[in-house]
Structure 1
């Protein structure tokens, strides 16, 4: 299964639409949003995927964002920290502003894949037995080139995609 990982949209709908179109072309079925969607209107653009969304510090309207995602698909998730399984892989996601939870997940080595955002910096790093992935940012303060990530859960191969 192909998993799209995006983060820090900060209401930049154009960049989000470009990333989603590419993820559809690549065959992504699941979308993990690592926080800072910002509004329920932006959340409404995520149709066609099973969405796992963790709330970021910019997601002030968390209840409305959750409702928008559940209207798209009742199996979608929106909350502060996600832990679950995808095709035998134990995964977790947390926005980086919840630093204690992020550090505990890293320390515990209790998941195979940990997805995070907040820093607007790309990261794909093996830490012990766990792989930590930050897809970079689609909006907000520009620290690096706009990016997102695609991971194949079968082959464990992943790569960053960059927006022009």
Structure 2
């Protein structure tokens, strides 16, 4: 399966739309957002994509974010999500508390751990777990990125967003 990963979009709708285009062009099977959408108006661009997300530390009105998720048929998992996909155990966490992120990566309970928060892309194997941070969709004047992950090969491909 092909996963589309993103985090820390921080209301940057132009980059969100670019990410959605990349995910559609690549025919991803599932999109995972590791939080910091910030405002509810950032959710509608994901309509038509299978989306799971979690809250980040900068997400505003949780109630309205959850409502927007419902409106587009997406799944919001609260502050932490775990699920199985094609035999792979996946954890999705914003990464607000670094010791928790590290514990998820080293505990060997998951095949893939997706986190954000640091705004720095990362893909490394910790024990037998792929620990990945897709970077920041916003960019904050630097590199804005999303990631594609093939769950069969565990190959990670970072894509840069422009504009």
TM-score w.r.t. the length of structure 2 is 0.93
Counterpart in the other structure of 1:138: 137
Q: CA deviation at 1:14?
A: 0.2
State yes or no: 1:103 paired with 2:102. yes
Moved more, 19-28 or 133-142: 133-142
Q: How far did 1:111 drift?
A: 0.2
Compared with structure 1, are the counterparts of its residues 20 and 28 closer, same or farther at alpha carbon in structure 2 (3 Å cutoff)? same
Q: In 2, distance between residues paired with 1:93 and 1:52?
A: 9
Pair 1:150-2:148 in alignment: yes
Task: List alignment gaps of at least 5 residues for structure 2.
Answer: none
Cα distance in 2 for partners of 1:150, 1:92 equals 16
* Distance in structure 1 (CA, Å) of the matches to 2:71 and 2:100: 28
Compared CA separation, residues 78 and 43, structure 1 to 2 (3 A): farther
Output the aligned Cα RMSD: 1.5
Q: Deviations over 1:1-44 (max 9, x none)?
A: 21100010000000110111011000112110011001111012
Answer yes or no: is 1:85 the counterpart of 2:77: no
Query: Does the 8 Å CA contact 1:66/1:78 hold for their aligned counterparts?
Result: no
Larger mean CA deviation between 144-153 and 3-12 belongs to: 144-153
Q: Is structure 2 residue 58 aligned with structure 1 residue 58?
A: yes
Aligned-pair CA distance for 1:70:
1.7
Residues 10, 140 of structure 1: 8 Å contact kept = no
What do residues 55-90 of structure 1 show as CA deviations (whole Å, max 9, x unaligned)?
1011121221112112211x6123100111111100
The DSSP-based 3-state class of the residue aligned with 2:43 is helix
Matches within 5 A, 1:1-164: 1-73=1-73, 76-139=75-138, 141-142=140-141, 144-164=142-162
Unaligned runs of 5+ in 1: none
* Whole-angstrom distance in 2 between the partners of 1:78 and 1:45: 19
What TM-score do the two structures reach when normalised by structure 1? 0.92
- Give 3-state SS (helix, strand or coil) of 1:22's partner: helix
C-alpha separation in 2, matches of 1:107 and 1:126: 10
Instruction: Please tell me whether the aligned partners of residues 34 and 115 of structure 1 are also in contact (alpha carbons under 8 angstroms).
Output: yes
